Amino acid sequence: MGAVSIPTGRSTTDPGQRLPAREAHLARAGHHAPASAPRGDAMDLSRPETLTEIEHLRLKAALINCPELDALTGRVRSFAHMLTERQGERLPQWLDAVRQDDLPSLHTLAAGIDRDRNAVIAGLTLSWNSGVVEGHVNRIKMLKRQMFGRAGFALLRKRVLLAP
């Protein structure tokens, strides 16, 4: 399915201008996104080195105009650095810094992390994970959903044991 031509109420030079599918969906729902909206919601969470020069300037302007967004971007990037560099020992300092900020949504995140602090530190520090186990659990749940209402436990057991 390609682009759809829908009048959006915006003044354009070409009234039959084609819109991308997402923007066409928003227009049908009565929402009108700005014509030049870049990846604004993702720019502050992207690695700074992957942004184009224009995106970098727009992000800088947004961060200057909104101190809360600037603080949030800094905290998210420092957490991402902890995660990618396996620096779980920095988590207590990060949590203290988050609690000192005036960002209620991050306070909720910090409280959740604090409830299981040792496990989060281990997850941010250790190189092994439970991805293989989670993959098997996901496969078994898929088989169970496929079998729902069709046969008993014996057939489900055979499918789980014999499935690749």
Each residue's pLDDT, cut to its tens digit, for the chain (164 residues) gives 444 444 444 444 444 445 456 555 555 555 544 444 444 556 556 677 788 889 888 888 888 888 888 888 889 999 999 988 999 999 999 999 999 988 888 999 999 999 999 999 998 999 888 888 999 999 999 999 988 888 788 888 888 898 87
Helices (H), the chain: 21-28, 40-43, 53-65, 67-84, 91-100, 104-115, 117-125, 131-147, 153-162
pLDDT at 43: 58
pLDDT at 92: 95
SS3 of 7, please?
Answer: coil
**Closest by Cα among 116, 55, 128 to 91:** 116
Residue identified by tokens 């084609």 is 18
pLDDT at 111: 94
Distance of alpha carbon 114 from alpha carbon 116, whole angstroms: 5
